[in-house]
Structure 1
Amino acid sequence: MTRPRTLVAAVAAASLALGAAATAPAAFAAPPGWNTPAPVVTRAGLDPALVAGRGADVAFLEQEAENAVTDGTVIGPGREAYTIEAEASGRSAVRLTPGQYVEFTLPAAANALTVRYSIPDAPGGGGLTAPLTVQAGPHTATMQLTSQYAYLYNQYPFTNDPDAGLLHPDWWVAECGCVPAATTPSFEPAAPFRPMKFYDEQRLLLHKTYKAGDKVRLTASADVPWTVIDLVDTELVGKPVVVKKAANVVDFGADPSGRRDSADAFDAAIAAAKQRGQVVYVPQGEFRVERHIVVDDVTIRGAGTWHTKVFGSEVALAEPAADGSTHTGVGFYGKDAADGGSTDVHLSGFSIIGDVRERIDTDQVNAIGGAFHDSSFSDLYIQHTKVGMWFDGPMSDVTVERNIIVDQIADALNFHIGVTDSVARHNFVRNSGDDGLAMWAESQGGTTLTNARNTFERNTVQTPNLANGIAIYGGTDNTVAGNLVADTIREGSALHAGSRFGAHPFAGTLIFRENTTVRAGTRELNWNIGLGSLWVYALEGSISGVHVTGDHYLDSTYNAIMLVSEWGVKDLYSMTDVSFADVRVDGTGTSVLSARVKGEASFQNVDARNVGAVGINNCGSFGFPPTGSEFSVADLGGNDGGGTTGPWMAAWELPNTITCHDRPPVVAPPAPTPWP
C-alpha cells in the first residue's frame, strides 16, 4: 500500500509557536434580552448557499471558530504548508491561551458536539494531553484533548520525532535546492523539519438537549501553553438503535465496558448469526478489539456511531506477517482477493477508533480492508486508523455511503486494483494524511485488472494534509460528481487525474461533473509553481478522454485548472480529448488554465471572474516553436469574464499563442459570492 512520492516543502518552521495575528473582540456576558451575534453556519468555511446540492448530506452543522465570540486571537488566513493556519478549515482558527474561551451559539437544537482543535506536541514528540472545559448553559463538562495522534515531521514516510535529522539525505530537498548527501558540508535543516498534521478532533455527548440560541463555551486549560479551536460541529443525536432478533455480541461474551478484549466474542457472534440467518448486533457500549475481525456473508449493526464504539490499541507483532505488517489492530477485513474475497457483507451504525500514530505503509491497520463483492459500508465513524477503508480488488458492487472518516495517517478511502461497479457517496472526510478519496488502478504484478465504472458522488473532503482531495489514478469510465473539496494543503489539488504510481492507462471517459472546490491548489516547491484546483498529470503515459462539466472552482490559490507533464517526459506524452463545459471560476491567484504539456483542450461556457493573472498560461511542452505552443485551446463559445489582465480567454491567445509565465505574482481574490 505504498505510493512513494517526491516530497515538496515550504520553508520549514523553526518552532511550533504560533505567529502574531489580529485579535478578535473580547466578549462579555450579555444581560438577558440583549442582542448577541447570530450563529454563522458554514459548509467548508463558506455560506452554504454557495455549495448547495454538492458534497455530503450530514447530520451536523458546522461553525468556524473565527466567526464565534472569543477573547482569544484569530490566526490566519494563511495557506503556506507546515503552518497551523494552513491546515485549518477555511484557513483561519482561534488561538486561546489558558483561561481564554471561544463561545458558539447553537443554530439548532443539539445534544452533541465535535471539536476540531490543536494543542502543542511534547518537546520530544509523542504528544500531550489537556482538558478543555465545555460549558453548555449552566452545566460544565470536560473534554480531554490530545496531540498524540497529530504531529508528523520530516520526509516521507515521516516521523514522530521533531528532532530527527533528514530521513533521506540522498533525496532532493527544496529548502536548500540540493541533495544534502552530495554537499560539503551536508545540509541539515533546522528542527522541527516540515511539521504537519496539527489537528485532531473529539466528540462529546452532552447531558441534555439544548435549544437553538443556547451558548456553548470552550475554555482553554493551563496544562498547555495554547489551544487552537478550528471549528465546532453540533448535532441532535437520537437514542441508541436496538435490534432484538439478532446475535448480540454481549451474549457471546463481549465486554461493553471496554476492559476486556472482545474479538473472540465478535467471532462467535458472527458464526452464530450465519448459522441462524440473523444479523450481528453490537449494542451501546465500548468494545475493545485488538486484531482483525474477518467478515464474510454477514450483517453487523451497531446502536449508532455515538453509542457503539469498537476500539483497539496498535499491537506490535512478534514477527512480521506474510503481508509485511509489523502491527495489527482493530479492523474489519474481507477475505483476501486471492481467496475470492468476501461477499454480502454489510456493516453499519458504529464507530471504529484505532490507535495509529505513525505511517508504516506495509502495516494492515485500516478500519476496513480486504476484498468484497455485493457489500455495503454505511453510517460508520472512523478515526485514528491508517486508512479508513482500503479495498484490494478484484472486487465489485460495493457501496460506501454516509460515513464520517477523520484523522487518518494515510487515505480515507481507496479503491485499489480491479474495483468495478462500485460507489462512494455522501461520505464526509476531514484531515486525511494522504488522498481523501482515491481510485488507484495499479497494475500490480502485471495484472490486467483495472478500476472501471466506479463513482465518487456527493462526498465532502476537507483539509487533506497531504496529496489530493479526490484522486483518480488510471482506470476506465469512472465518474467524480457532485463533490465538495476544500483546503488542500500540500503536494496536491482538490481534484486530480494522474497517470502515475504504476496505474493502468486511462481508457474510455473520466468524468468530472458538478463538483465544487474551495481554496484549493497548492504550491509545488520542487517545481516552484502553483497547482490547479483541478490537476491533470501525464507522468507515466498520455491522457485522453477527460470531460469536465458543471464544476465550480472557488478561490483557487493559484490556477483553477492545470494540465501538465513531467519535464523528463514532456516530449513523450500528451493530452487529447479534454473538454470543459458550463464551468464557473470565481477567483484565482493566477490563471484559469495553466498548460505545461502538448495536446489540446476545448472550452465552452466557462465563465470566470477575479482572475489574478493572464487567463491562459500556455507553455506547451516548452519547445517554443515559431508556429506557437504545442498545446492548443479550442474556444467553442460562451467563455466569458476575466480579471486583472482582461478577458480570461482573449482572441489573441487562441488557438496556441505562447503565454508562458509560470510564476506570476499571486493576486489573492475576494471571497466567493453568489453568481448572478
Structure 2
Amino acid sequence: MRPSPLFTRLLALLVCLTALVSCSEGGDSPAGNSQPTEAGPTLSGIGVPSEAAPVATVLPARMTEAPLPTMAVAETETEYVRIKNAALGTYIYAADEQARHGALDGADLSFDWIMEDYQGAVRFKNRSTGTYLSIENLREYVELLPVQPVWMSPRWTFDQDPASGTTIIRNAWHNWEVLYLDTGHEFLRYGRPPADAGAAQWTIELASGEAVAAGTATPVVTLPAPSLPAGSRGASVPWLEYEAEDGETNGRLIGPDRTFGTIASEASGRVAVELSAAGDYVQFKTIKEANSIVVRFVIPDAPEGDGITETLSLYVDGIFSQKLSLTSRYAWSYGGEASTYNLPVIGGAHHFFDETRLLVQTIPAGATLKLQKDPDDTAGYYIVDLVDLEYVDPPKAAPPDFLSITTDCGAVPGDGLDDGPAIQACIDEAQSRGTGVWIPAGTFESTTAAFNVDEVSIQGAGMWYSTIHGFFARFNCMGNHCQYADFAILGETLGRDDRSPENGFNNGAGLGSRLENIWVEHTKVGYWVGPGTTNGLVIINSRFRNLFADGINFCNGTSNSVVENSHFRNTGDDALASWSPAHGGVNTGNVFRFNTVQVPWRANCFAIYGGQDNRIEDNLCVDVVTYPGILIAQSFNSNPFAGTTVVQRNSLIRAGGPMFRQEHGALKIRAEQGDISRLVVKDILIDSATFSGIEIDGSYAISEAAFENIQIVNPGTWGILIRSNTSGEVTFTNVMVENPGKEALLNYAPILYFTLTRGAGNIGW
C-alpha cells in the first residue's frame, strides 16, 4: 500500500525534529511567539505553583533556527487525522459543543479532524460537525464552535517531545495553556501542563476515512521556541544595551545620585555621561551586529517649556555616519514630584529623559560606535544615559486578503496629512468582510479621532517600519477580538491630563484580544484597560516607553489576562498595575510575568490594588525614582483582596524612593483602606534599595501573609521596616538581610496588634 502524502511528510517532520536539523520546506517561524510552560490564568482562578521557576520560551525577533517545516497535502484529496492521548490511549471526538475523549469508533466521523494551516498556526475542524477546537469562552472544557477569522482561541501550535516522540498541543492565544485529559472528566481540558506529563502528550494519526476534494489550507507543525534558562527574570529582548558610564568618554560623568530633581536620579544605574564641549564623545565596542539604534538622552528645555530640537553626531569606526535628531519636546515637567506642568517658571523640574530611535546602516560586531558633539551640534549639553543596538529583520509581508490602508483605502505615508478617516474606513470595511487591516511600512498621521475596533486584526510590517503618529494615534476596542500586531504608536502627549484618554489603547478588551510586537511612546498611558469588560487579554513582546502615566493598567474587572515578555521604560506612573476599583468588576486571575521595567519616573514598577488571585512573577524592576518597585495595596477605593495574591521570583534593583513626604521601601505592603489577606511573597531579590527593603504599613489588618526566600542586600536604611500603624500577622522564613544602611529590622508595630512570626532560616536579623 502506497503511503499518503500526509503520512510521508509527518514521518519526515519527525525525523527533522528528532535530529534537530533544518527541513527544507516552509517559511520563517513567526517572530516573538512566546510559549511559557508555567501556570497561566484560568477562569477558576490561579493556584500557587511550585518554587521552581518555569521555563519561558520566547522566539527572538531574529531567528537562527531552521525554517518552519510544512506538510504538503495532495491537491486532489483531504487527509483526515485522529488525535490520540499518550496516557489514556483515548481519542478526541466532537459531542455537541464540547470536545470529549473516548475509545475510538472507526465508523464515527466525529473522531476525524482536518488540520488547517491558518496564519502560522493550526486549526482543528471536526469532520462531522464542521466546528473547531476552541477555548473562546474560557470554559472548564475545550469547546467546539463555529469561529470568526480573527479569533486566536481556535489556533494551536505544536511542541515536539523528543523523549517520547509525542506532541504537546498549545493554544496560540493563551500560549501558556495546553490540551490535556484527566481521568475525572470525559471532556477535553486545557491549562498549565499537568503533573502527569502523558496527559498532555498526543500523537496525530492518519484516519482511514474516505478522501474528498481538498478545501483547506496546508497543515503546519511549528518547531518549539528556544528556552530561556530556568530561573530567568525579566523580558528576553532582541537588543543589547550599552550604558554610557561603561563606555569610553572624554565627557563628564554625572552621578550616582538618587536625589529627586537631579538628572542622575532618573538615569539607568543613576549615572550618565554629559557632553558639553565640541569634541566631547562617548563610545562603545559593539558586541553584535545591529542596524538600529535607540539613544536615551537629555537636552535642555526651551525657556517657554515647548522644547528644542537639536542634532548629535553618530560615528562608526571613526567615520561619520549621520546626524541623530533629538528633541526635548516630550520631556521636562515642572511643579515637583506630583505634577507635570509644562511651565519652567514654576520650578520643580523633573522627567528629564527621552529617547530617539532610528534604523541605520549595518553596524558590524566589534565596531566602535561613537556619539559626539560636533561644532554644528548646538545644544548647550547632551546627557547620554544608554544606547540600545538591535538587528531588525526586513519588513513583514501583508497577510492574504487583508485590506491595505494605502492601496485599498487611500492613506498616504509621509505626507503629513491626516490618514485617520482612511484608516477607520479600512477598519470598518474589514469588519464587514471578516478580514483584517494591513498597515504597510511608513508613517501615517492621526489628527482628528481615535480608531474604533471590533472583531478586526490590525497587522503592521513591524514595529520599526509601520507607525501611527499624532495626537489621536489611539485605538479603542469597542467589542471583542481586537487584535494588534507589529506596528508603533508615537503620540503627541505633552503633559498629563486625566480627563483626556490620550492612551495608545483604550477600553475593555472584551474576549479574545491581543497585542503583540507593539511599540507605544509619547502617549499618556500605553493601554488603559477599561471601561468595559475584559477576559483573556494577552499583551506580549511589546515596548512601552516615555509615557506620562501608566504603561498598562488592568482596570474595571479585567480578568484572566496576561502581560508577558514586554519592556517598559520611563513611565510616568505604575508601569504595570492591576487596579480593581470598587465601582467595577473584580480583577481576577491576572498575571504580569517575564517583564522588564526600567526607570519609572513616577510610581511603581508593579502594583496590585485589590482583586482576586492576581500574580506578579519572574520580572525585573530597575531604578525606581519615587516609589516602591512592587506595591500591594488596599487603596484607591479598590475591591477587597480575595483568593491568594502571589508575588514571586522577581528582582528589584535600586527600587524605592521619596514621594509624598515618605521614604518608600523597595517592596511595600499597605493596608490603607481595608484588610489584606492570603499574600504569598517568595523568591525575591532586593538589591540596593534606596531606603528599606521591605516596608509594611496601613491602618487595617494584614493576615495569612508569608515572606519566604527573600534576599535583601545593601538596603539604604532598614532591611525590614514595620510601621507603627501595622496590625495583623506576618511570617518570615529564609529571609536574609545583608549590609543594611541602618539596621536589619525596625518594628514599630505594637505587640498587642501585630505578630511577627520568625520561621526557620532567617539570616542577619
Structure-2 separation of matches of 1:401 and 1:364: 23
Alpha-carbon distance in 2 for matches of 1:258, 1:439? 40
Q: Is the 8 A contact 1:618 1:629 kept in 2?
A: no
The 1:588–1:51 alpha-carbon spacing in structure 2 relative to 1, beyond 3 Å, is farther
Cα distance in 1, alignment partners of residues 666 and 353 from structure 2? 23
The separation in 2 between residues aligned to 1:423 and 1:50, in whole angstroms, is 21
Matched-pair contact (CA < 8 Å) for 1:618–1:631: no
Structure 2: distance between partners of 1:146 and 1:630: 54
- Residue 564 of structure 2 corresponds to which residue in structure 1? 425
- The question of whether the paired residues in 2 share the 8 Å contact of 1:261 and 1:287 is answered with yes
Shift of 1:506: 1.1
1:145 aligns with 2:323: no
Match of 1:404 in 2: 543
When residues 157 and 80 of structure 1 are mapped into structure 2, their CA distance, relative to the original with a 3 A threshold, is closer
Counterpart of 1:487 in structure 2 is 623
AA in 2 matched with 1:451:
N
2:438 corresponds in structure 1 to 281
- Provide the rounded CA distance (Å) in 2 between the counterparts of 1:629 and 1:488: 35
Aligned counterparts of 1:60 and 1:227: Cα–Cα separation in 2: 23
Indicate the percent of aligned positions where both proteins have the same amino acid.
33
State the SS of the aligned residue for 2:253.
strand
Distance in structure 1 (CA, Å) of the matches to 2:527 and 2:594: 17
Query: SS of the counterpart of 1:614?
Result: coil
Residue 558, structure 1, aligned to residue 691, structure 2: yes
Match for 1:227: what amino acid?
Answer: Y
Among 375, 381, 399, the alignment partner of 2:513 is 375
**Is the 2:717–2:741 contact (alpha carbons within 8 Å) kept by the matching residues of 1?**
yes
Q: 1:215 aligns with which of 329, 354, 368?
A: 368
The answer to whether the aligner puts 1:388 opposite 2:543 as a matched pair is no
| Distance in 1 of aligned mates of 2:487 and 2:674 | 42
| Equivalent in the alignment of 1:183 | none
Could you give the per-residue CA deviations for residues 149-180 of structure 1, whole angstroms, max 9, x where no partner exists?
A: 0111115443100113xxxxxxxxxxxxxxxx
Alignment size in residue pairs: 526
Q: Distance in 1 between matches of 2:497 and 2:695?
A: 31
User: 1:580 maps to what in 2?
Assistant: 707
Q: What residue number does 1:333 align with?
A: 476
Aligned-pair CA distance for 1:350: 0.4
The SS at the match of 2:265 is coil
Structure 1 distance, partners of 2:229, 2:440, is 39
What is the CA-CA distance between 1:477 and the residue it aligns to?
0.7
**Equivalent position of 2:49 in the other structure:** none
Distance between the aligned counterparts of 1:482 and 1:629, measured in 2?
A: 36
Structure 1 residue 498: deviation in Å?
A: 1.2
In structure 2, list runs of 5 or more residues that go unmatched.
1-227
Give the aligned partner of residue 204 of structure 1. Answer: 358
User: Match of 1:592, as an amino acid?
Assistant: G
Moved more, 541-550 or 155-164: 155-164
**Residue 307 of structure 1, aligned match among 455, 465, 486:** 465
- Please say if residues 572 and 600 of structure 2, whose CA atoms lie closer than 8 Å, have aligned partners that are also in contact: yes
- 1:136 equivalent to 2:316? Answer yes
Give the structure 2 partner of residue 44 of structure 1: none
Deviations along 1:472-527, whole A, 9 cap, x unmatched?
A: 1111110000011111111x110001111111111111100100000011134524
Pairwise CA distance, 1:219: 1.2
Measure the CA separation in 1 of the matches of 2:625 and 2:533: 32
2: CA distance, partners of 1:51 / 1:476: 28
1:323 aligned residue:
none
Give 3-state SS (helix, strand or coil) of 1:135's partner. strand
Measured in 2, the distance between the counterparts of 1:244 and 1:615 equals: 58
Contact 1:61 1:233 in 2 (8 A): yes
Q: Which residue of 2 aligns with 1:415?
A: 554
**What aligned pairs does 1:245-644 form with structure 2 within 5 A after superposition?**
245=400, 246-251=402-407, 252-290=409-447, 291-312=449-470, 314=471, 329-335=472-478, 342-372=479-509, 373-392=511-530, 393-444=532-583, 447=584, 449-490=585-626, 492-524=627-659, 526-527=661-662, 530-565=663-698, 570=699, 573-596=700-723, 597-620=726-749, 624=750, 628=751, 630-640=753-763
Q: Is the 8 A contact 2:313 2:320 kept in 1?
A: no
Per the alignment, do residues 51 and 85 of structure 1 end up closer, same or farther by CA in structure 2, a change over 3 Å counting?
A: farther
Q: Is the 8 A contact 1:495 1:535 kept in 2?
A: yes
Residue 274 (structure 2) pairs with residue 111 (structure 1): no
**How far 1:206 moved relative to its partner?**
0.8
Aligned to 2:3: none
Whole-angstrom distance in 2 between the partners of 1:273 and 1:525: 49
- Say if 2:236 is the partner of 1:57: yes
**TM-score w.r.t. length of structure 1:** 0.76
Asked whether the 8 Å contact 2:733–2:762 carries over to 1, the reply is yes
Contact 2:590 2:613 in 1 (8 A): yes
> Normalized against structure 2, the TM-score is what?
0.67
Contact 2:403 2:435 (8 Å CA) reproduced:
yes
Residue 160 of structure 1 aligns with an amino acid whose one-letter code is N
* Counterparts in 2 of 1:294 and 1:612: CA distance versus 1, 3 Å: same
Quote the offset at 1:632 in angstroms: 1.9
CA distance in 1, matches of 2:617, 2:731: 20
* Change in CA separation of 1:603 and 1:305 when aligned onto 2, cut-off 3 Å: same
1:237 aligns with 2:376: no
Check conservation: 2:711, 2:737, Cα contact below 8 A: yes
Q: What's 1:673 paired with?
A: none
- Note if contact 2:431-2:454 (Cα within 8 Å) is conserved in structure 1: no
SS of 1:515's partner is: strand
Residue 344 of structure 2 is matched in structure 1 by 162
Letter in 2 for 1:300: I
Q: Separation in 1 of the partners of 2:428 and 2:419?
A: 14
Q: Does 1:225 align with 2:389?
A: no
Work out the CA distance in 1 between the residues paired with 2:738 and 2:281.
Answer: 39
SS of 2:426 mapped into structure 1: helix
What is the one-letter code of the residue matched to 1:604? Answer: T
Q: SS state of the match for residue 427, structure 2?
A: helix
Distance in 2 between residues matched to 1:213 and 1:562, nearest whole Å: 45
C-alpha spacing 1:462/1:51, structure 2 compared with 1 (3 Å):
farther
Distance across 2 between alignment mates of 1:50 and 1:66: 28
- Seen in structure 2, the aligned counterparts of structure 1 residues 629 and 91 have a Cα distance that, compared at 3 Å, is farther
**RMSD between aligned residues:** 1.7
Cα distance, 1:635 vs. partner? Answer: 1.4
Q: Distance in 1 between matches of 2:608 and 2:350?
A: 24
SS at match of 1:272: helix
Go from structure 1 to structure 2 and tell me whether the alpha carbon gap of 1:147 and 1:52 turns closer, same or farther (over 3 Å shift).
Answer: farther
1:244 Cα deviation from its structure 2 partner: 4.7
Q: Which residue identity lines up with residue 633 of structure 1 in the other structure? A: L
Q: Looking at CA atoms only, which structure, 1 or 2, has the larger radius of gyration?
A: 2
Deviations 1:75-98 (A, max 9, x none): 100111111000001110001113
Deviations 1:123-173 (A, max 9, x none): 231111110111123342111111110111115443100113xxxxxxxxx
CA distance in 2, matches of 1:86, 1:280: 43
Give CA deviations for 1:258-307 in whole Å, capped at 9, x if unaligned: 42211122122223323333221111111111221101101111010111
